[in-house]
């Protein structure tokens, strides 16, 4: 594949294929790729293939016995002159090491994966950027507020529980191996997911939208009066069902941009020289004092952007034409190809 150097004509865009795993935000990514003139390919398992065959903008489907088998089946992608656009399933289903083993041009900076997937490294990054994070608690003696206990290896948002105070924490963690969980101050506020895009070509941070998640069972606990809940063995689960779009209070936008720009600036010191670019998401809770406390960063497109199809209020302010995050990624790749800068955006 020609990834650098010469300027390219718009007709050449169709000789490149944008490929992604068939799950998460693949429909949005491939729809956006088609809108920008690329060929498209979905990498599927037998279970997911049927979904992607339903949509006319998916040109090609590669069916694998499992997603990890991709590492041994990169030939098809190479023949298609593919560029891989990663999303949440790349880490969830392939793991960091397989992501690194992929030899196909991959949109984004793979070094960021190490910072993102290690809790301590992520905290170092975000705190260095000046972001407020929930306080990490290392012993029962420190507990002076309600806490959330996160079991290691908990996936998809289940495996967490709350403790009101040190006594409840001690009772509930009795018998659990120290080191098998982390403890944080529990924040009581509004969870918000902020969607960004940092353009390396334009050197510009764009705020493309926000969502809130619809999660089971936390989002249904409020439907039961607390006296009915008392005594029931219910721990909160954050298994996501879907997402809802959110318009952010306009006076908060200044801070929204500031947070995103700080995270990008620090990423350049941690993963030089490019740092974090493309789509990313800051996930946090806004407390009544209007503090945005971040509990996680996702360094690629998040599925919450699926609600902004074909566009979001904020993308509309920039573009005045439909621009989902998936399409924004394809637009960046297109601009890079046309200006001979693709090598800067892929790995």
- Binding residues vs ligand AMP (CB under 6 A): 23-24, 88-89, 92, 134, 148, 156-157, 160, 184, 186-187, 191, 213, 238, 240, 242-243, 285, 295-296, 303-304
User: For residues 229 and 339, which CB has a smaller minimum distance to ligand AMP in the complex?
Assistant: 229
The tokens for 273 are: 């020289």
Task: Report the run of H or E that residue 116 belongs to, with start and end.
Answer: helix 111-117
CB 115 within 8 A of CB 122: yes
95/157 with CB nearer ligand AMP? 157
Residue 239 beta carbon to ligand AMP: minimum distance, rounded to whole angstroms: 7
Instruction: Return d(Cα 209, Cα 73) in angstroms, integer.
Output: 35
Per-residue DSSP letter, 138: -
Question: What is the closest distance, in whole angstroms, from the C-beta atom of residue 4 to ligand AMP in the complex?
Answer: 32
Least distance in angstroms from the C-beta of 305 to ligand AMP:
9
Spatial distance between the Cα atoms of 133 and 110, rounded to a whole number of angstroms: 24
Of 219 and 347, the one with the shorter C-beta distance to ligand AMP is 219
Question: Least Å distance between CB 110 and ligand AMP?
Answer: 18
Contacts of 165-168 spanning 24+ positions with Cβ under 8 A: 166/140, 166/141
Phi/psi region, residue 178 (left: phi>0; alpha: psi -120 to 50; beta: rest), is beta
Using the minimum distance from each CB to ligand AMP, give the nearer residue, 114 or 185. 185
Phi, psi of 225 (to 5 degrees): -55, 145
Smallest separation, CB 343 to ligand AMP (Å): 29
Class of residue 51 by CB neighbours under 10 A (exposed 0-12, middle 13-18, buried 19+): middle
Which helix (H) or strand (E) segment holds residue 325: the answer is helix 325-338
CB nearer ligand AMP, residue 214 or residue 272: 214
CB of 186 to ligand AMP, least distance (A): 4
Q: What are the tokens at 290?
A: 């209007």
* Cβ at position 147, least distance to ligand AMP in Å: 8
Closest among 253, 252, 216, 251 to 235, alpha carbons compared: 216
- Count of residues for the chain? 347
SS3 of 190, please? strand
Shortest Å, Cβ 323 to ligand AMP: 20
Q: Which is nearer to ligand AMP, 105 or 134 (CB)?
A: 134
Residue 338 in tokens: 């046309």
Q: Which is nearer to ligand AMP, 107 or 160 (CB)?
A: 160
Pick the closer one to ligand AMP by CB: 92 or 309.
92
Query: Nearer Cβ to ligand AMP, position 36 or 211?
Result: 211
Q: C-beta of 282: minimal distance to ligand AMP in Å?
A: 12
> How far is 68 from 94, CA to CA, in rounded Å?
5
Beta-carbon contacts of 184 under 8 Å, excluding residues fewer than 6 positions away, are 134, 135, 136, 137, 147, 148, 150, 295
Could you give the CA distance from residue 95 to residue 338 in angstroms, rounded to a whole number? Answer: 32
- Beta bridge partner(s), residue 211: 193, 245
């Amino acid at each position: 594949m020609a990834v650098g150097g010469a300027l390219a004509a718009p007709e050449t865009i169709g000789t490149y294929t944008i490929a992604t795993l068939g799950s998460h935000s693949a429909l949005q990514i491939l729809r956006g790729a088609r809108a920008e003139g690329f060929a498209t390919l979905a990498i599927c398992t037998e279970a997911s293939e049927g979904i992607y065959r339903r949509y006319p903008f998916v040109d090609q489907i590669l069916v694998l016995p499992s997603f990890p088998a991709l590492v041994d089946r990169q030939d098809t992608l190479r023949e298609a002159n593919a560029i891989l656009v990663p999303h949440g399933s790349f880490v969830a289903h392939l793991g960091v090491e397989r992501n690194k083993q992929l030899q196909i041009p991959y949109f984004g900076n793979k070094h960021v994966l190490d910072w993102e997937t290690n809790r301590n490294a992520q905290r170092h990054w975000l705190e260095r950027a000046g972001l407020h994070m929930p306080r990490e608690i290392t012993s029962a003696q420190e507990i002076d507020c309600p806490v959330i206990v996160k079991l290691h290896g908990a996936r998809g948002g289940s495996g967490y529980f709350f403790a009101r105070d040190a006594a409840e924490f001690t009772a509930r963690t009795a018998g659990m191996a120290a080191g098998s969980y982390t403890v944080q101050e529990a924040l009581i506020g509004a969870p918000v997911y902020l969607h960004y895009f940092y353009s390396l070509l334009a050197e510009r941070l764009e705020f493309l939208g926000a969502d809130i998640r619809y999660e089971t069972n936390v989002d249904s606990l409020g439907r039961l009066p607390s006296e009915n809940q008392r005594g029931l063995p219910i721990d909160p689960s954050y298994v996501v069902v879907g997402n809802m779009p959110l318009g952010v209070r306009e006076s908060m936008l200044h801070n929204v941009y500031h947070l995103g720009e700080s995270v990008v600036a620090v990423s350049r010191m941690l993963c030089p020289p490019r740092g974090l670019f493309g789509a990313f998401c800051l996930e946090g809770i806004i407390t009544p004092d209007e503090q945005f406390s971040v509990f996680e960063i996702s360094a690629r497109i998040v599925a919450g952007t699926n609600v902004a199809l074909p566009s979001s209020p904020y993308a509309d302010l920039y573009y005045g034409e439909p621009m989902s995050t998936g399409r924004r990624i394809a637009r960046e790749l297109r601009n890079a190809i046309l200006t001979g800068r693709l090598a800067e955006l892929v790995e």
